[in-house]
Chains A and B, each alone.
Chain A
Amino acid sequence: NAGVTQTPKFQVLKTGQSMTLQCAQDMNHEYMSWYRQDPGMGLRLIHYSVGAGITDQGEVPNGYNVSRSTTEDFPLRLLSAAPSQTSVYFCASSFGLLGSEAFFGQGTRLTVV
């Protein structure tokens, strides 16, 4: 059982470039989310999805897009990378909505120069 798989693990982008961070889970979880982690800021919710075809914004959605065409996959797109998006990104999934344990991927360390 792979759990939550994120790719890539590391990425360097130039300002203005676009890219997609991939996230896949094999636990048949309905709820998936993306967080960014910055020093002293904890984990901040970017976008989340409660099921295929349904997404919504979190605390810091600007500059990011998501889609959920299948239960398994929840990619995060950066349309035009900015240095402020340098961060560690975590994808998480959970079985339900209220009070379910979240399983995190290994993270993607993104640097925008």
Chain B
Amino acid sequence: GQQVMQIPQYQHVQEGEDFTTYCNSSTTLSNIQWYKQRPGGHPVFLIQLVKSGEVKKQKRLTFQFGEAKKNSSLHITATQTTDVGTYFCAGQRDFNKFYFGSGTKLNVKP
């Protein structure tokens, strides 16, 4: 079964609106990574969070790791059409394995 739950499954926004996707794990994670997959493409690494309560920013993207290291979020401010794609979180719990969320597919209407 799914080790890491991710919501929502789909999100349609108007260009300029904000977007947030959430990941939750029932157990504590050692770290969490975020990936973006463009339509027809492969996942590409965005960022990694390691510390409890960590917040990182990349231009319009803000990533957070929860205090209990069981949840994480990705927030995009003022979406653009170039943000279209599926965003995945990947939580690491076991030493050798990452557990990917089911992904949030973002569609941005111009």
List A residues 39-58 near B (Cβ within 8 Å): 40-45, 48, 50, 56, 58
Binds B, one of A14-22, A77-85, A99-107: A99-107
Q: CB < 8 Å: which of A41, A90, A102, A105 contacts B45?
A: A102
Digitize B68-104: 1 where CB-to-A-CB distance is under 8 Å, 0 elsewhere: 0000000000000000000010101001111111110
Q: Chain B: interface residue count, which band?
A: 20 to 34
A64 to chain B, nearest CB (A): 16
Bound CA span A44–B103, Å: 12
Most chain B CB neighbours (cut-off 10 Å) among A92, A99, A105:
A99
Given A99-B50, A99-B92, A42-B101 contact (CB < 8 Å): yes
Digitize A52-74: 1 where CB-to-B-CB distance is under 8 Å, 0 elsewhere: 00001011000000000000000
Q: CB < 8 Å: which of A56, A103, A105 contacts B96?
A: A56
A101 to chain B, nearest CB (A): 4
A54 to chain B, nearest CB (A): 10
Question: B6 on the interface (CB 8 Å rule)?
Answer: yes
Residues of B with Cβ closer than 8 Å to A? 2-3, 6, 9, 30-31, 33, 35, 41-45, 48, 50, 88, 90, 92, 95-103
Residue contacts A-B, CB under 8 angstroms, 29 given: A41-B102, A42-B100, A42-B101, A43-B43, A43-B88, A43-B90, A44-B100, A45-B97, A48-B97, A56-B96, A59-B3, A90-B42, A90-B43, A92-B43, A98-B92, A99-B30, A99-B33, A99-B50, A99-B92, A101-B33, A101-B48, A102-B43, A102-B90, A102-B98, A103-B45, A104-B42, A105-B42, A106-B41, A106-B42
Residues of A with Cβ closer than 8 Å to B? 31, 35, 40-45, 48, 50, 56, 58-59, 90, 92, 97-99, 101-107
Q: A40-B9, A102-B45 are in contact. List 18 more A-B contacts (CB 8 A).
A: A35-B100, A40-B102, A41-B102, A42-B2, A42-B100, A42-B101, A43-B100, A58-B97, A59-B3, A59-B99, A90-B43, A97-B96, A98-B31, A99-B31, A99-B33, A101-B45, A102-B43, A107-B42
